[in-house]
Amino acid sequence: MGRVGVLLLNLGGPEKLEDVRPFLFNLFSDPEIIRLPVTWLQKPLAWFISSSRYKKSQENYKQIGGGSPLRRITEEQAQALEASLAQKGQEAKIYVGMRYWYPFTEDAIAEIKQDKIDHLVILPLYPQFSISTSGSSFRVLEKLWQEDRVLGDNIKYSLISSWYDRPGYLQAMADLIAQQLDQFENPNRVHLFFSAHGVPVSYVEEAGDPYQREIEACTSLIVKTLNRPNPYTLAYQSRVGPVEWLQPYTEDALEELGEKQVKDVLVIPISFVSEHIETLQEIDIEYREVAEEAGITNFRRVPALDTHAGFINDLADLVIDSLNSPSQKFSDVVRPSDQLKMYPQERWEMGITTSAEVWNGRLAMLGFIALLVELFSGKGILHAIGIL
């Protein structure tokens, strides 16, 4: 088999406050995050969004210490995985490749080439596959393999698209949940609240993204593994933009539980295996406030897996299994078509509704495009009235 490497894929995150703006630019430059009808608008739109959002995002990062811990935790996971593999008799070097911040996936591949790796296991740290997470990273790698003959001719790869149903992963999640439940006065009465990162509905309904199906299956498997009588809810967080995302939204579901007089809630971040902004700030601060305002008096969260021994041990088994099994190719992975519509065809409605948000987004996009055209052409209504 030769020299074995494992490439851990993750989102990445700004480590300092001054990193926030360029990180957001990289994020929104990805067409799998925001798809536009014309590609040349992607960078200008990313610049516009990052410029308008970075100060608010910086305030959020200030609340968790001034930067994301994601790189540090991912590197700790890499070290733990390398040690676990060695204990199982499989020598391998572990690499970290982030999609939107350092160390970038391209940097990891350059190091992999330099180390003359013969067989590379590509392992996304997303348990469930989505075209906007694992899929986006896979497409970067596919392009690198197509353009670089050294990769194509010399490095065999094993592609792991998702692993949400792994027994070791499920047991690790169940163990963390049980530890938190037992700290409540009435553990069996606590409402389990699974919160997953959302994706646009169009990805699921039009592009065939299996994410929602895998999230729902994963939730059921964790509950079955836990084997407790607790009621549970699955909701989706972190939506961006005016399009319709998977529902119920986390904030709406929490408010609904409050209306039902639920007092004890344990939040489980099901699509995250590392602590980062969406657990430490969005759940622990923003959603805690939503829950308290809704009347939920005991709001707690299950910690992310990070370097949980059972989780790391299962990842090591997964790597070994993948080395000895037929692998998917990049071309086998689900991807959005060029015709995928990000804006659903809805009738305009009055009030604060999903439809109104969609139409507001369309109007804002048209206005932004008109502004760009006028800036580049030097002609238009703003020039005529003396504003530009």
Amino acid residing at 221: L
Which residues have a Cβ under 8 Å from the Cβ of 143 and sit 6 or more positions away? Answer: none
CA–CA separation, 110 vs 105, rounded Å? 9
Return the percent helix, strand and coil in the chain, to nearest 5. Answer: 50, 15, 35
Residue 193 · residue 265 · CB < 8 Å: yes
Residue ranges for the known binding site are 197, 278
For tokens 């009435």, the residue is 186
In the beta sheet, which residues pair with residue 195? 235, 269
> Alpha helices of the chain — where are they, by DSSP H?
20-28, 42-62, 70-87, 105-114, 134-147, 149-154, 167-181, 201-205, 211-226, 250-259, 277, 288-293, 309-323, 354-377, 381-384
Residue ranges for the known binding site for Fe(2+) are 197, 278
Per the document, the length of the chain is 388
CA–CA separation, 355 vs 6, rounded Å? 44
294: phi then psi, degrees, rounded to nearest 5: -85, -5
